[in-house]
Amino acid sequence: MLYVAYILALGCISCFALIAFAAARRKNVDIIVRGGRRRAPRALSGAQHVFFCVADHFEPFWNGADRTTALQRVEQWKRRYPLLCERFRDGGGRPPQHTFFYPAEEYEPQALDALAGLVRPGFGDVEIHLHHDRDTADGFAEKINAFRDALHVNHGLLRADPSDGRIRYGFIHGNWALDDSGPRGKHCGVKNELAILKETGCYADFTYPSAPHPTQPPVINKIYYPAGDPLKGKSHHARIEAAFRTAPPGGLLLVTGPLAINWHARRRRIFPAIENGDITALNPPTPARIDLWVRTGVGVAGWPGWIFIKVHTHGAQEKNAGLLLGGGIQSMHEYLLSRYNDGGRYVLHYVTAWELYQCVAALERGDEEWMRRIEGFRYLPRDIGEPS
């Protein structure tokens, strides 16, 4: 009888273990554990520069909102964000920077004019976000080209490269399904999407991480280029890392945010949480989370002195906006500035997505003059245009 009970208990334990393992696989825990062992190396000498970028999937028409509600959401940001920034300055005296990735399918001129009113005084930037489904290569390119031109011509947003006149933009894919990586082919349909982005002037993609969503690629905590077949989809599931004094291989740069297991936060008081850099009202940016972002150490291979922290949010949603424009985000900035801007061990930089890209490009070139300019809070390279 005891033997039977033992066998039944062992069977139950095995079933529970299999169920737990399957659940962990669905939430990408295996990917995170394998790739999350790297910790930020210390700078060889001097202070470590921490570049902090907020990438906002900013969707004013979220949840089927009407135009009035959408404009109210944008107006709240236009009114309150400059007030929030008054208290905080990074090591170079710059206020927090917020990059609004605005959905092409939600084009609303009045909303974009309001966001441009935040860009011009120096509070952030606007880039391109897009949700699409069962699309074609031609259809995708048409959408991107039209919205890119509208942002630049109608609203004075984005930037033109003087070397060739092309408008440059950053990108975040809606529903995380970059390069047709959505489950069952949903939310994209374009298997050469990264190539089209590059051809239409995209300088970098900022979509990931997406875990625990199934679109999470196996490459985590890296700044890299896709190494897969550019015509077969999911080409970003293989990588060539961006590296110091190493010429880019020619594909589209992908900038990922921190992805790790947070052993100090527990789901249902049992399971360790997945840290994916998402700032929400339900998951505010605590000191423990910020420390983990830094320890994750996302950077350019071969240059440990610069750490890039790209976090994301959905700032148009009312609950998140309440945090991002209120006391919750003030606590984040207070901790960032007290812990990572001492001028000796760390120097904090508030950067936009475009500025973060400039930092990566400077390291790839190994341009020491440009790197010194960046460490002095002057981000633009000479061949793009002198900073003001």
Give per-residue pLDDT as tens, 216-246. Answer: 999 999 999 999 999 999 999 999 999 999 9
In a domain, residue 114? The reply is: yes
Residue of higher predicted confidence among 39 and 375 = 375
Using 50, 70 and 90 to split pLDDT, how confident is the model at 20?
very low
Residue 224: give its domain's CATH number. Answer: 3.20.20
Quote the pTM value. Answer: 0.90
Answer whether residue 25 is part of any domain.
no
Instruction: Judge whether residue 382 has pLDDT over 60.
Output: no
pLDDT at position 42 over 70 = no
Provide the pLDDT for residue 117.
97
The answer to whether residue 63 scores a pLDDT higher than 90 is: yes
- Say yes or no to pLDDT of 121 above 90: yes
Q: How many domains does the chain have?
A: 1
Q: Is the pLDDT of residue 381 over 80?
A: no
| Domain-located, residue 7 | no
Q: What is the mean pLDDT of residues 129-144?
A: 98
In this model, does residue 40 exceed pLDDT 80? no
Number of alpha carbons in the 13 Å side-chain half-sphere of residue 156: 8
Sign of the C-alpha dihedral computed for residues 318, 322, 324 and 325 taken in this order:
positive
Mean pLDDT for 120-131 is 97
Q: 261: buried, middle or exposed (CB in 10 Å: 19+, 13-18, 0-12)?
A: middle
pLDDT at 12: 39
Structural domain containing residue 75: 30-375
Work out the average pLDDT over 107-132: 97
Question: Is pLDDT above 90 for 205?
Answer: yes
Handedness of CA 309, 315, 319, 324 (dihedral sign): positive
pLDDT at 53 over 50: yes
* Nearest-angstrom CA–CA distance, 151 and 126: 9
Q: Let me know if residue 23 belongs to a domain.
A: no
pLDDT grade for 249, boundaries at 50, 70 and 90: very high
Q: What is the pLDDT of residue 267?
A: 61
Strands (E), the chain: 48-57, 98-103, 124-130, 159-160, 167-173, 202-205, 223-226, 239-241, 253-255, 260-267, 271-275, 278-279, 306-313, 346-350
In a domain, 63, yes or no: yes
Structural domain contains residue 22: no
Average pLDDT of the chain is: 89
Q: What is the pLDDT of residue 299?
A: 98
Q: Which pLDDT band, with edges at 50, 70 and 90, does 43 fall under?
A: low
Q: Looking at residues 76-102, what average pLDDT do you find?
A: 97
Q: Examine residue 18 and state whether it is found in any structural domain, yes or no.
A: no
pLDDT given at position 178 = 98
Q: 18 pLDDT exceeds 80?
A: no
pLDDT score at 41 = 59
- pLDDT beyond 50 at 13: no
Residue 304 is assigned to a structural domain of this protein: yes
Kindly indicate the confidence band of residue 88, based on its pLDDT and cuts at 50, 70 and 90: very high
% of the chain with per-residue pLDDT over 70: 85
**How many C-beta atoms surround the C-beta of residue 288 within 10 A?**
12
Residue 386 pLDDT exceeds 50: no
- Give the integer Cα–Cα distance in Å for 387 and 49: 20
Q: For 288-338, what is each residue's pLDDT tens digit?
A: 999 999 999 999 999 999 999 999 999 999 999 999 999 999 999 999 999
The Cα 54–Cα 277 span in angstroms is 10
Separation CA 132–CA 142 (nearest Å): 12
